[in-house]
Amino acid sequence: MSKRPRVGVLALQGDVREHARVLADLGADVDLVRRPTELADVHGLVIPGGESSVIDKLSRAFGMQGPIREAIAAGMPVYGTCAGLILLADRITDGIEGQETFGGLDVTVQRNAFGGQVESFETDLDVPLLGDPPVHAVFIRAPLVLTVGAGVETVASLDDGRVVAVRHGTLLGTSFHPEVTGERRFHEVFLDTVRAA
């Protein structure tokens, strides 16, 4: 692979442009992915924040659920933020009836764990994986990781110990939105994983 990894942003719904901009600024070639043929052209995928139940329904309508599950099982690096974390989780609570995920991360995630839009908040997180300075994290109708399976690394927690970022193999998930605050280090970790894969 060239020094410019080709990565995709799942472009069915959510804050697609923000992720695409960060990835391009970091030197990646970025494709907006809506179809299985487009997924086959990239070496890593970002699943953006948005509405997890809508992305789930659209992924099935566009024939994307199976190909994304297969790509994850084959080791494709995937980074999910907020709704993207929900979609990477093997288990969710508080999902709407019939809601499904792509899976791959052995975690249980609670949707909208902090409440609605008006309960959105910002805080600084110590993230040893990234070093200093702390990450300024924005939580918007954010999920929470309730249980973490064997082999899953807790990347960041709130001061009270609740888990808000995890990693396992080539999969990375955050409850918050680094793409909206100018925080690029999670995307750098993702791109490093793509290059290594």
The model's pLDDT over 35-68, given as tens digits with 9 standing for 90+, comes to: 999 999 999 999 999 999 999 999 999 999 999 9
Cβ atoms 51, 28 nearer than 8 A: no
CA distance 110 to 143: 5
183 part of the active site: no
Indicate if the pLDDT at residue 187 is higher than 60: yes
Active-site residue, from 18, 168, 179, 187: 179
In a domain, 141, yes or no: yes
Task: Indicate the pLDDT class of residue 188, thresholds 50, 70 and 90.
Answer: very high
Active-site residue, from 18, 43, 82, 168: 82
Task: Indicate the pLDDT class of residue 120, thresholds 50, 70 and 90.
Answer: confident
Kind and range of the H or E run holding 61: helix 52-61
pLDDT, residue 112, reads: 85
In a domain, 142, yes or no: yes
In a domain, 49, yes or no: yes
Active-site residue, from 19, 177, 183, 187: 177
Scan for tokens 């799942």, then name that residue.
10
Cβ atoms 65, 12 nearer than 8 A: no
Instruction: State how many domains the chain has.
Output: 1
136 part of the active site: no
Beta bridge partners of 31: 8
Q: Which amino acid is at 70?
A: E
119 part of the active site: no
Over residues 115-125, the mean pLDDT reads 82
Domain of 137, CATH number, reads 3.40.50.880
In a domain, 150, yes or no: yes
Domain that holds residue 143: 6-196
Indicate if the pLDDT at residue 116 is higher than 80: no
In a domain, 1, yes or no: no
Cβ atoms 45, 76 nearer than 8 A: yes
Q: What rounded mean pLDDT belongs to the chain?
A: 95
